[in-house]
Structure 1
């Protein structure tokens, strides 16, 4: 079961007819996301395997997962915003149970992202899973 925030994104994607509109929506999600403090954009928070610069800093509060994220590419910031909607507020113990490829598949991203962006998205999901598992 996806979070309400992710369900809202999925509903918006269902409403948008073509990929260009969806692409613009992903970029808007990225623009709306708060910027990550520059002092958190360090090698320890950097996600390897992404074509763009990507940083993810986890926060665990009351057993629930959350994170800050940022990228130097707007489309990637949008992908981070989608992942935030998918994972934020979920109990840490349930992060591994989220089938990210299936949930993201509902958005049709895999059909429209370049191979490099798809690999980067997988790297971000793996990083989130590892961060939650080590919490």
Structure 2
């Protein structure tokens, strides 16, 4: 499956980073670029359960392709979620189900830095995206 253009850009930037410190800095920058969610969207119904940090997720289906927006109260998680959004935004529901989270973060060179709880949290976010996409499938 080909990657969305934003995911390709992320991959290039992260793969060119010489070490973990640079990747960590990039991760924070990606998190800061995440547009803030409207306070009306930061509600319990949009909260992703299974994350240690608070994460809110909303999704909109536009001409068969999903666009997600998310926010978190934790800086590192915001960066990881921003990279996940880069990977999945613009995908169809079917493509979304094929996303391999571990492989994506491995390609970015971030997998070793994902603790089990962060990994579980990101899987919960991806699962929530799939639920949203599945709920709207005709």
- With the shorter chain as reference, the TM-score category is over 0.9
Q: Who is 1:78 aligned against?
A: 79
Structure 2's unaligned 5+ residue stretches are none
Q: Who is 2:52 aligned against?
A: 51
* CA distance in 2 between partners of 1:50 and 1:120 (Å): 4
Q: CA RMSD in A?
A: 1.2
Asked if 1 retains the 8 angstrom alpha-carbon contact of 2:3 and 2:87, the reply is yes
Asked if 1 retains the 8 angstrom alpha-carbon contact of 2:93 and 2:130, the reply is no
Measured against aligned partners, the alpha-carbon deviations of 1:3-43 in whole angstroms (never above 9, x if no partner) come to 11111111111110111110110110010111001111111
Q: Structure 1-normalised TM-score?
A: 0.93
Superposition pairs of residues 1-135 of structure 1, within 5 angstroms: 1-135=2-136
* CA distance in 2 between partners of 1:123 and 1:20 (Å): 26
Greater shift, 89-98 or 61-70, is seen at 89-98
Q: Structure 2-normalised TM-score?
A: 0.91
Per-residue deviation, 1:105: 1.7
List structure 1 segments (4+ residues) > 4 angstroms apart after TM superposition: none
Asked if 2 retains the 8 angstrom alpha-carbon contact of 1:6 and 1:85, the reply is yes
Per-residue deviation, 1:64: 0.7
Asked if 1 retains the 8 angstrom alpha-carbon contact of 2:60 and 2:68, the reply is yes
Instruction: Flag the 1:97–1:113 CA change in 2: closer, same or farther, 3 A.
Output: closer
Between the two proteins, the alignment pairs up a number of residues equal to 135
Greater shift, 40-49 or 104-113, is seen at 104-113
